[in-house]
């Protein structure tokens, strides 16, 4: 790749970190958000935070939503991602203020779209989601939440009420300097297509999914 040369013949410095690029109104079926776009110069990903209302500094209702094309756009019932995104946006509007940080580069818990589809094919043959990733020689969860913490800092948020069932998200935010005052469950009723996937998330990835107890006991 050719490096950019400045007007004086010097190499332009490489940008690092997270840069706020644009702030645009985004009317949605849920309500009117501000879509704040960021560039993650370290990873090369474009990111967006959907902000509703006037944000406080502390205890802001927040969802860190990992990109999931199949669930978010296509309504896949293999996972609960699309329903969680819908529930999070509705919760933020009902609260009167909050943030949904949509994290691109997190597809398939960070392994990418095509690898996720390969893992799904293996799950159709009987492997669980953890076994499928490992069979492909891939990490079980490769997501990093540092960019989310930097976005929240840019928005002036120092502590959150985190909408998540995943303890790793809480731990990651705290490790990056964002306080988590509360972890708010985001429980979606299971269906036949995702009950095995959800059980695996609870049993092997430590997700807090107490609503599965009734389903498990009746099966």
Residue 159, strand partner residues: 179
- Which residue bears the tokens 């669930």? 71
In angstroms, the CA 28 to CA 85 distance is: 13
Contact residues for 182 (Cβ-Cβ < 8 A; gap 6+): 59, 161, 162
| Catalytic member of 63, 109, 118, 143 | 143
Instruction: Look up 141 and say whether it is catalytic.
Output: yes
Instruction: Look up 58 and say whether it is catalytic.
Output: no
| Catalytic member of 42, 86, 141, 144 | 141
Return the number of other C-beta atoms located less than 10 Å from residue 94's C-beta. Answer: 12
In angstroms, the CA 167 to CA 205 distance is: 9
One-character DSSP codes across 125-152: TT--HHHHHHHTT--S-----HHHHHHH
CA distances to 6, 47, 129, 149, 212 from 170, rounded to whole Å, are 42, 20, 22, 11, 21
Burial of 12 (0-12, 13-18, 19+ CB in 10 A): exposed
CA 100 to chain centre: 9
Cα–Cα nearest to 173, from 198, 196, 200, 152: 152
What are the residue numbers of the active site? 141, 143
């Amino acid at each position: 790749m050719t490096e950019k040369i400045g007007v004086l013949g010097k190499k332009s410095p490489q940008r690092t970190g997270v840069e706020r690029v644009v702030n645009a109104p985004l009317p949605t079926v849920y309500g009117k958000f501000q879509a704040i776009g960021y560039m993650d110069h370290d990873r090369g990903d474009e990111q967006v935070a959907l902000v509703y209302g006037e944000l406080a500094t502390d205890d802001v209702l927040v969802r860190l939503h990992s990109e999931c094309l199949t669930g978010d756009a296509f309504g896949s019932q293999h996972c609960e991602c699309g329903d969680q995104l819908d529930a999070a946006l509705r919760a933020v509007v009902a609260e009167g203020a909050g943030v949904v940080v949509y994290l691109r580069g997190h597809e398939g818990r960070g392994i990418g779209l095509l690898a996720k589809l390969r893992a799904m094919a293996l799950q159709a043959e009987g492997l669980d989601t953890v076994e499928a990733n490992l069979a492909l020689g891939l990490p079980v969860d490769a997501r990093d939440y540092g960019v989310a913490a930097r976005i929240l800092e840019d928005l002036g948020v120092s502590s959150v009420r985190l909408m998540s069932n995943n303890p790793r998200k809480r731990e990651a935010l705290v490790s990056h300097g964002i306080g988590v005052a509360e972890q708010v469950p985001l429980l979606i009723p299971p269906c036949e297509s995702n009950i095995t996937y959800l059980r695996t998330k609870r049993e092997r990835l430590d997700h807090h999914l107490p609503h599965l107890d009734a389903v498990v006991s009746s099966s």
